[in-house]
Amino acid sequence: MAAVLRFVNRTCFGSRMGLQCLSLSRPVAVAKLVQDGASAGKTLPERVKIVEVGPRDGLQNEKTVVPSEVKIHLIDMLSEAGLSVIEATSFVSPKWVPQMADQVEVMMGIHRRPGVSYPVLTPNLKGFLAAVNAGAAEVAIFGAASELFSKKNINCSVDESLQRFEVVTKAAKEAGVPVRGYVSCVLGCPYEGKVSPDKVAQVAKRLYSMGCYEISLGDTIGVGTPGGMTEMLQAVSREVPVNALAVHCHDTYGQALANILIALQMGISVVDSSVAGLGGCPYAQGASGNVATEDVVYMLHGLGIQTGVDLPKLMDAGAFICCSLNKKTSSKVAQATCKL
Amino acid sequence: FLATVLLHLHCLLFRRALTHEYPEFVKIVEVGPRDGLQNEKEMVPTGVKIQLIDMLSETGLSVIEATSFVSSKWVPQMADHTEVLQAIHRSSHVRYPVLTPNMHGFQDAVAAGATEVAVFGSASETFSRKNINCSIDESILRFEEVICTAKQRQIPVRGYVSCALGCPYEGPIESTKVAEVVKRLYELGCYEVSLGDTIGVGTPGSMAKMLHSVKKEVPSSALAVHCHDTYGQALANILTALQMGICTVDSSVAGLGGCPYAQGASGNVSTEDVLYMLHGMGIKTGVDLSKVIEAGDFICKALNRKTNSKVAQARGDYSVHCHMKKINT
């Protein structure tokens, strides 16, 4: 019994090569495959939640400033692709992140599909209040596992940043707004180099204790490998339950999917990714950044893991935004299936 | 205090359990000069090929597929096979297998000084017919002749099985079919069989399933994986293979060699990216990553194209380069 991918190709490649005949097995077969340990005898989650960060983390790191209508249309297309979490925008001051200056317009302009959550970044109380005012129903806060990175990125120490966030999580709790926490530099820092897994665990624990329902562990510069990922997750999962953890892997060194696979094998079932692999690595010119959602979904479906995502619709969204940005997709799945 | 001790013990045991999952050493089979250049649009001058191979010989790689003795009518990019084989500087630590599709090619290869050869089978009937104009059975009969003769002359033969995870014509391939072909090549006398995900459609799921079937017929120590990165799955697939006891990986410097079935899509996985992952996991390869990056740089300049290796792209532009050595030990 095989779990294979339904691959509806929009180009002559698929029709010529017969890949359309590949189809996704029914859920029963899928579950059995997962139970059989499809991946090298390891148990994998039956379902993985994808957190789509393209509209925020992706576009924030693109050189071209994208018109609000394009952002709104992208988010709407992603909503139709079956994603359940789409990070919509960021309430960081436009002085620092001009690409997200239209945050209110975007929040108010998107069509909010029932069952889909649209978290927004809120670095402090001011951002939080502005977000709630604009209709945000979920927010996210960003810590770092590296002191130097924290100072360079948000101009304060890790401790100071956590104090700021505590103010936000308190207010969010009172307002009944869930908060997601991010920890960056979990597998390496562009300034400090190696980052101790225990430090990552400490920061993750603090964010979790102050009320974040989920902590996303970010390999900010993509230097991690399965070895480092294993060690780090082992340390963090001692402090935070595994079902409250997510991985946010960058593909700067091509390691993202391998790292994600390891995370799945260790019980993680939430993965952040960016449509078309939007968002380069700000620390290495021309290098890639976020892992492409299409490539992640392809792997997950190939493993018989359910995501709820419609891959062809996702690729349509990727094609749309790449066209608008006048750039090539960073997704290999999209490149392979689109001969443009 | 006791809690701390127990914690450290747990950590140690966990680490031990994890390290036992992976081989301590992985052999890289560098296929760039043959599989890579054969699939590049640009015809590469003989001098450039020779220099590439010589640079790769200095990196610590122990196997470098040098060229192919297929008729130049079919593969014009490899028409200079004799010249290449005779001109490369052969390092004593390196083997230089060459492709030999039949007796004619085998004899030419031996006359040119080849000391190891490779034969190419397929797990898909349609692919076999379209690629080498005969059925799988017919191809194996041809290889039998080559392997027999090679045995007499004490020339090791490596086998390849293409379409191990999917065929551009037939779609999914039964893992039992793959196992059958692998077994036949192994029993004929191939010392190693490389399992190729020819169009890169495989995922860790299909890789695990295929290897599970193949390992029933052939020992893991005689198996290798040859993953294409067309759908970005190569490293995840290789990781799966390592977890299942495979310790030989084919790859191509700079990710040379596109996928002939999808214009503009990538093909071979980059040696640099594979090395980065293996070294990051504490797995030894004997290969110097920086020197491979240099060789990749050289051939990309000669081909006037960008590298497909993400590691090479990142290293090339990284502004805090010095930190990478600290992070990836």
- Predicted confidence at residue A39, as pLDDT, reads 59
**A257/B236 CB distance under 8 A:** yes
User: In this structure, which amino acid lies at residue B134?
Assistant: C
Residues B255 and B310: beta-carbon distance below 8 Å: no
Residues B314 and A281: beta-carbon distance below 8 Å: yes
Cα of A136 to nearest chain B Cα, Å:
35
Question: What does the DSSP 8-state code read for residue A40?
Answer: T
Cα of B325 to nearest chain A Cα, Å:
8
Query: Which of B42, B18, B16 has its CA nearest to residue B305?
Result: B42
Question: What is the sign, positive or negative, of the torsion defined by CA atoms of B216, B217, B221, B227?
Answer: negative
Helix (H, G, I), strand (E, B) or coil at A309: coil
Question: What residues of A are in contact with residue B243 (Cβ under 8 Å)?
Answer: 39-42
Helix axes A256-265, A293-302, angle to 10 degrees: 40
Model pTM score: 0.90
| B3 pLDDT more than 80 | no
| B220 pLDDT more than 60 | yes
| A5 pLDDT more than 50 | no
Chain A to chain B, count of Cβ pairs less than 8 Å apart? 193
Residue A282 pLDDT level (bands cut at 50, 70, 90): confident
Residue B5 pLDDT level (bands cut at 50, 70, 90): low
A223 reaches B (C-beta below 8 A):
yes
Question: What residues of B are in contact with residue A37 (Cβ under 8 Å)?
Answer: 208
Instruction: Mean pLDDT check: name the lowest of A144-148, A306-310, B1-5, B292-296.
Output: B1-5
Residue B74 pLDDT level (bands cut at 50, 70, 90): confident
Query: Which of B249, B254, B308, B312 has its CA nearest to residue B281?
Result: B249
- By Cβ distance, the residue of B170, B243, B309 closest to A40 is B243
Distances (CA, A) of B30 to A37, B34, B52, B313: 31, 9, 12, 19
pLDDT in tens, A11-32: 333 333 333 333 333 333 333 3
What are the tokens at B55? 């640079």
Instruction: Mean pLDDT check: name the lowest of A20-34, A37-51, B47-61.
Output: A20-34
- Predicted confidence at residue B119, as pLDDT, reads 96
What are the tokens at B45? 């001058």
Question: What is the sign, positive or negative, of the torsion defined by CA atoms of A95, A98, A104, A105?
Answer: positive
B294-298: average pLDDT = 98
B259 classed as catalytic: yes
A21 reaches B (C-beta below 8 A):
yes
Tell which A residues from 30 to 49 touch B, by Cβ distance under 8 Å: 33, 37-42
**A227/B281 CB distance under 8 A:** yes
**A255/B327 CB distance under 8 A:** no
Picking from A332, A337, A339, A340 by the largest number of B CB atoms within 10 A of its own CB, the best residue to mutate is A332
SS3 letters across chain B: CHHHHHHHHHHHHHHHHHHCCCCCECEEEECHHHHHHHCCCCCCCHHHHHHHHHHHHCCCCCEECCEECCCCCCCHHHCCHHHHHHHCCCCCCCECCEECCCHHHHHHHHHCCCCCEEEEEECCHHHHHHHHCCCHHHHHHHHHHHHHHHHHCCCCEEEEEECCCCECCCECCCHHHHHHHHHHHHHHCCCEEEEEECCCCCCHHHHHHHHHHHHCCCCHHHEEEEEECCCCCHHHHHHHHHHCCCCEEEEEHHHCCCCCCCCCCCCECEHHHHHHHHHHCCCECCCCHHHHHHHHHHHHHHHCCCCCCHHHHHHHHECCCHHHHHHCC
Separation CA A207–CA A169 (nearest Å): 9
Residues A216 and A180: beta-carbon distance below 8 Å: yes
- Residue from A185, A212, A249, A281 carrying the catalytic annotation: A281
Residue B270 pLDDT level (bands cut at 50, 70, 90): very high
A97 reaches B (C-beta below 8 A):
no
Picking from B15, B269, B310, B317 by the largest number of A CB atoms within 10 A of its own CB, the best residue to mutate is B310
User: In this structure, which amino acid lies at residue B221?
Assistant: S
**A41/B280 CB distance under 8 A:** no
B2-23: average pLDDT = 52
| B173 pLDDT more than 70 | yes
- Predicted confidence at residue B72, as pLDDT, reads 86
